[in-house]
């Protein structure tokens, strides 16, 4: 897997950062482990039925190099709502609850500091309406891809600095899709200038972090 946790074409290249193992339990759960090249566990996820709400969920936990849990996300696979808890020294120090597409309940350090926002500010952000308008004016469906019937979603990774600048732009899942679509997605995201908002850490300080922008191509 590459640094964005997507499969790479040649496992001998310098693009390899992680390995992935998957298992299915007798109960029907799917469990996935991701390890770094030093065989340290980076994340563990389990797809199962939520015991209380009777819906399909994915529970993902991330760990640091000392095997300390840094976050846990419970994602409702049926409506995309999620709750993410962030940990520091084994203590819960932050939380995000996605109630709706533009409604996030967030707190840091103390649950009493909860506030409402239209995006998850633990991640870099931008105004989705600005991007959709930009797509409408600039994104094209390459003729070669149309003729071949190629479609899918290209994930473009954008490294957002502490000041909200795009420091790097690259493909996250390039090998999984038609290269013509990948190039068009890259072209358009490179043209898009935001504005971007940097991610905030557990103390509310801006930090450098990757943002993942989906570019969807679907034949009608």
Averaged pLDDT for residues 125-140? 90
Query: Would you say 167 and 152 are in contact if contact means Cβ atoms under 8 Å apart?
Result: no
Closest to 191 in 3D by CA, of 119, 130, 153, 138:
138
The half-sphere exposure of 122 on its side-chain side, counting CA atoms within 13 A, is 20
How crowded is residue 147: how many other Cβ atoms within 10 Å of its Cβ? 8
Instruction: Please give the backbone phi and psi of residue 69, each rounded to the nearest 5 degrees, phi first.
Output: -70, 130
Q: Roughly how many angstroms between the first and final C-alpha of the chain, as a whole number?
A: 32
Local confidence band at 78 (pLDDT 50, 70, 90 cut-offs) = very high
pLDDT, tens digit (0-9, with 9 covering 90-100), for 3-38: 999 988 776 677 899 999 999 999 899 999 999 999
pLDDT, tens digit (0-9, with 9 covering 90-100), for 92-118: 999 999 999 889 999 999 999 999 999
pLDDT the model gives residue 101: 87
């Amino acid at each position: 897997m590459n640094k964005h946790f997507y499969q790479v074409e040649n496992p001998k290249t310098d693009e390899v950062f992680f390995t992935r193992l998957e298992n299915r339990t007798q109960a029907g759960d799917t469990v996935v482990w991701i390890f770094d090249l030093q065989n340290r566990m980076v994340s563990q996820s389990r797809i199962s039925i939520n015991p209380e709400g009777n819906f399909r969920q994915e529970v993902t936990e991330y760990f640091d190099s000392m095997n300390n849990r840094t976050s846990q996300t419970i994602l409702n696979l049926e409506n995309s709502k999620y709750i993410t808890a962030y940990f520091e020294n084994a203590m819960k120090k932050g939380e995000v609850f996605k109630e709706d597409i533009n409604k996030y309940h967030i707190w840091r350090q103390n649950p009493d500091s909860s506030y409402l926002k239209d995006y998850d500010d633990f991640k870099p952000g931008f105004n989705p309406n600005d991007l959709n308008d930009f797509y409408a004016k600039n994104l094209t469906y390459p003729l070669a891809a149309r003729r071949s019937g190629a479609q899918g979603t290209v994930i473009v990774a954008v490294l957002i600095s502490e000041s909200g600048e795009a420091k790097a732009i690259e493909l996250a899942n390039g090998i999984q899709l038609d290269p013509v679509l990948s190039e068009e997605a890259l072209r358009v995201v490179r043209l898009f200038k935001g504005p971007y908002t940097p991610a905030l850490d557990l103390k509310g300080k801006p930090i450098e972090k990757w943002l993942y922008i989906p570019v969807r191509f679907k034949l009608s």
